[in-house]
Amino acid sequence: MPEDIAAEQTVLPGGVVRTIAELPGPKGIPILGNARQIQPKQFHRTLEKWARQYNGTYKFRVAKRTFVVVSDRDAIANILRDRPVTFRRSSRTARMLEEAGTRGLFTAEGEEWRRQRKLGMRALTPEVVHRYFPNLVMMTERLLARWNAALAAGRPVDVLRDLKAYTLDVTIGLAMGQDINTLEHEDNPLQRDIEFLFNMVARRLTSPFAYWRLFKMKVDRDADAAHQRIQGAITGFIAQTRARLEQDPSLRTRPSNMLEALVAARDEADSGFSDAEVIGNAITMVFAGEDTTSNTIAWLLHLLSHNPQAAASAGDEAAALMGMDTVVRDLRLLDQFLYTDAATREAMRLKPVAPFMAAEPNVDTVVDGVATPAGTIIFLMLRHAAERSNDFERPEQFDPARWLNDSGAEAASDPGRKLFPFGGGPRFCPGRYLAMAEIKMVMAMIMRNFTLSVKPGAPEVEERFTFTMTPSALPLLLHPRKDVARVASAA
């Protein structure tokens, strides 16, 4: 480790320095520690419960490893700001993701991250998303047509399943240049392999022991095989992309998808990038973009279905901006969906797909007044930090208006700076622009074409944590809006 990094001791807010041993925390049992108190699908809830019990900063233990939990918003902001020098992503998480073939920008650290960042930023510029927008329109129309056909035939609409398929189609289309159409075809082998590998990573992340490094069960061997098939498929996509770039060299400076941008950057003289890094970043894009976006939309629909006044406001906005259009056809129009944007931010506050994240200091440092040795895994309680602050009146209520001023424009003193839905600091999520475009496209389509209600007698929706925080179900009923239905029937 360079001497200048080792010497850099970042002191974060918190006052008197304590040791980890002096922190409060839940009582465990010999050998296992607190392992038996943790249910993987409720891991975030357990951490939040303990955070309320121990006033934000505490420790817990699983086997021989002690973890630190931090809920102070300023401490969290400073940790995010000081990545990747003083802090890094959890090495445990990074290693598991790399084992799944996602070695790229998401897992890179230090100088490798700085190098990979250039590759990632070129692949996810707003210009790339603009050129991909016609595909986004087509896929949104496909989703609407599927739902209209189901409702006309009296079939139930599985909104949660279709949202996941839609975002997977969008993400693979942008990341790999392929329209696999999982929305209408559930038997696509690439989709099956990606979903299988994604679920395997989620299970491993919540496993207390990395058993697969000692021995592999059938499910682990199946995951390795899925990884090999995905790599083979992307290698073929790269060859197709190079052929397109040869036929149309203008795509090297004006790529229409992420893979074209990645391949163009990799093929530049002395780029220093390899096809393996292109593959890793393409897989990373799918992993990072599928569940996060679909679950954000799902949570927003869940909250709107339980808040009819907010849903009506979102519908009125869509009608005013779209007229008789059933989907948004001009990317610039999405910037005018201020209420939808506010509702999305409110959903991210109450139901963030990442209620916490893990960090790890590269050097001995002080975190929220606690002397923290290098290598300690620190859980940053993103949602709980917002709950503890006094920045939101009636914090338990879903109120999109809190993000708007009296004229309906975005608030000048943006409370979004106090939340971290896309991370923060130098490692701010490069896919934010695409994610917000997807969310607004789908929400505009839904609120213009349908009204929402909760399925009668449906059980309460629960939070479940896998790789992200997902709803246990989405018992939602869609009802066609009469004005749009009349126009559609007349056409």
320: exposed, middle or buried (C-beta count within 10 Å: 0-12, 13-18, 19+)? exposed
Q: Which pLDDT band holds residue 11 (cuts at 50, 70, 90)? A: very low
Q: Looking at residue 486, what DSSP letter applies? A: H
Residue with token string 């944590």 = 465
**Selected residue with higher pLDDT from 405 and 335:** 335
276: left (phi over 0), alpha (psi -120 to 50) or beta: alpha
In this structure, of 87-101, 188-202, 475-489, the range with the lowest mean pLDDT score is 475-489
Nearest-angstrom CA–CA distance, 299 and 290: 14
Cis omega before residue 84 (within 30°)? Answer: yes
Nearest-angstrom CA–CA distance, 224 and 227: 5
- List the alpha helices (DSSP H) in 54-125: 73-81, 91-99, 110-123
Q: Is the pLDDT of residue 248 over 80?
A: yes
Task: Give the pLDDT confidence of 35-59 residue by residue, as tens digits.
Answer: 999 998 999 999 999 999 999 899 9
Instruction: Give pLDDT, residue 149.
Output: 97
The domain tally of the chain equals 1
Q: Please give the full DSSP string across 396-423, using - where no structure is assigned.
A: TS--GGGGB-TTSSBPSS-GGGG--BTB
Average pLDDT score over residue span 338-346: 96
Nearest-angstrom CA–CA distance, 108 and 89: 9
79: exposed, middle or buried (C-beta count within 10 Å: 0-12, 13-18, 19+)? buried
Q: Is the pLDDT of residue 122 over 80?
A: no
| Tokens encoding 3 | 């001497």
Residue among 478, 375, 343, 325 nearest 87 (CA):
375
CB 40 within 8 A of CB 74: no
Average pLDDT score over residue span 60-86: 92
- List the alpha helices (DSSP H) in 248-366: 258-266, 275-305, 308-322, 338-350
Average pLDDT score over residue span 248-261: 90
Task: Give the pLDDT confidence of 193-242 residue by residue, as tens digits.
Answer: 888 888 888 888 777 778 899 999 999 999 999 999 988 998 999 999 99
Nearest-angstrom CA–CA distance, 341 and 281: 28
Q: Which pLDDT band holds residue 464 (cuts at 50, 70, 90)? A: very high
Nearest-angstrom CA–CA distance, 347 and 419: 12
CB 387 within 8 A of CB 42: no
Query: Which of 61-65, 259-263, 339-343 has the largest mean confidence?
Result: 339-343
Domain CATH number, residue 68: 1.10.630.10
**Selected residue with higher pLDDT from 177 and 484:** 177
Q: Is the pLDDT of residue 491 over 50?
A: no
CB 280 within 8 A of CB 102: yes
Average pLDDT score over residue span 249-277: 87
Q: Is the pLDDT of residue 450 over 80?
A: yes
Average pLDDT score over residue span 276-298: 86
Detail the residues annotated as belonging to a binding site for heme: 429
Full residue range of the structural domain in which residue 364 is found? 3-490
CB 140 within 8 A of CB 445: yes
Detail the residues annotated as belonging to a binding site: 429
Instruction: Give pLDDT, residue 414.
Output: 56
Instruction: Give pLDDT, residue 425.
Output: 64
Average pLDDT score over residue span 479-486: 78
Instruction: Give pLDDT, residue 428.
Output: 63
Q: Which pLDDT band holds residue 401 (cuts at 50, 70, 90)? A: very high
**Selected residue with higher pLDDT from 102 and 252:** 252
Task: Give the pLDDT confidence of 356-393 residue by residue, as tens digits.
Answer: 999 999 999 999 999 999 999 999 999 999 888 777 88
Residue with token string 């006044």 = 309
**Mean pLDDT for the chain overall:** 87
Q: Is the pLDDT of residue 244 over 90?
A: yes
Nearest-angstrom CA–CA distance, 292 and 282: 16
Q: Looking at residue 48, what DSSP letter applies? A: H
Q: Is the pLDDT of residue 34 over 90?
A: yes
Average pLDDT score over residue span 468-472: 93
